[in-house]
Amino acid sequence: MSDFRSDTVTQPTAAMKRAMMDAPLGDDVFNDDPTVHRLQEMAAGMLGYEAALFAPSGTQTNLIALMTHCQRGDEAIVGQQWHTYRWEAGGMAVLGSIQPQPLEHQPDGTIALADIENAIKPDDPHFARTRLVVIENTTGGKPLPLKYMRDVQQLAQRRGLRCHIDGARLFNAAVALAHEDGGDPLATAKNMCHGYDSVSLCLSKGLGAPIGSLLLGSASFIGQARRLRKMLGGGMRQSGMLAAAGIHALEHHVHRLADDHAHARLLSEGLAEIIPNHPVLSGRLAVHADRTNIVFTDVDADLGQPLLAHLAANDVKVTAGDLRVQERLVKRIRWVMHLDVSGKDVEKALQVVNAFR
């Protein structure tokens, strides 16, 4: 089985499992689990923050961040496709009483700075109080440029707003940008976060841990966040076993994300060779350029289900959804690379696509 559905499907490696079994444990709700402390201190140091908080999921760390930054009736500026707005069950509104102000994306995944500026509400009792700007990096597999990250942070600072990064795949962005400019991914990740009040970092996607995310910020911010984690049911007891997986991931799985990016290029380049001469898919399947570990392909709507059924019958798992592109209905298929997808899996997928009739 070749599973391209998401980088969340990764299984712990043998070395990660050993680290989990050998971890010294305490009770994290009593704040005395030494392995959790080590993970939090390590992550905070890596990304330039005073403190960090370990929680079960990125959905929860994002929600904790939003509820720490904002009070009832406050507003957060988000992207129309950001997870914090579209993919996290409306938690900011339902549980935090925070009004989202969603903005449209540019083709490169950014939100225009002028659109952010224009969305900030005046100090008027008719309006929700704009308190927070949220950025997602990567977004749809696209890494946001360092200059853009800095520009957003400076805009928020100039307007007296706080700013948060949903960095579920932050290290994918850092690895891609570092590869392009010859830098170090860890230094790049730290630069991306510079000046941002908080960042959520997922450990269970490309980094390969079985569960868990981190929220990073100032010591006082994390102190407030810990109370909200308890309120939201995120306090875990002997969670050092899970934290040990996160430590192993940060120590061993950051630089290897480059392998996933290489596999994404292998897939997109292979499809680009196959499709022009394919008897069925020629002119009817488009491949979007990749820069990290995610490849999107758009196939005409009437071919979508037959192609997906063909992939499934040949043990290739993907996710897909309907989308309208320039008044044309397509099935958008998402292929995600991760540590359990090999070059052989990619070659198999290409052979299966090529065999579609």
Which domains, and CATH codes, for the chain? 2-251 (3.40.640.10), 257-354 (3.90.1150.10)
What is residue 325's predicted lDDT score, i.e. its pLDDT?
82
Distance of CA 342 to the CA centre of its chain: 21
Return d(Cα 320, Cα 322) in angstroms, integer: 7
In tens digits, what is the pLDDT along the chain, a chain of 357 residues?
999 999 999 999 999 999 999 999 999 999 999 999 999 999 999 999 999 999 999 999 999 999 999 999 999 999 999 999 999 999 999 999 999 999 999 999 999 999 999 999 999 999 999 999 999 999 999 999 999 999 999 999 999 999 999 999 999 999 999 999 999 999 999 999 999 999 999 999 999 999 999 999 999 999 999 999 999 999 999 999 999 999 999 999 999 999 999 999 999 999 999 999 999 999 999 999 889 999 999 999 999 999 999 999 999 999 999 988 887 899 999 999 999 999 999 999 999 999 999
What is residue 55's predicted lDDT score, i.e. its pLDDT?
98
**How many Cα atoms sit within 13 Å of 167 on the Cβ side?**
30
Beta strands in the chain (DSSP E): 2-3, 51-55, 74-79, 99-103, 129-136, 162-167, 198-202, 213-217, 285-287, 294-300, 316-317, 319-325, 328-336
Question: Per DSSP, what are the bridge partners of residue 261?
Answer: none
φ and ψ at residue 189, rounded to 5 degrees:
-60, -40
Dihedral sign (CA 251, 165, 266, 183): negative
Return d(Cα 320, Cα 118) in angstroms, integer: 34
Distance of CA 299 to the CA centre of its chain: 25
Quick: pLDDT tens for 110-127.
Answer: 999 999 999 999 999 999
What is residue 285's predicted lDDT score, i.e. its pLDDT?
96
What is residue 112's predicted lDDT score, i.e. its pLDDT?
98
* Closest C-alpha among 55, 53, 42, 58 to residue 8: 58
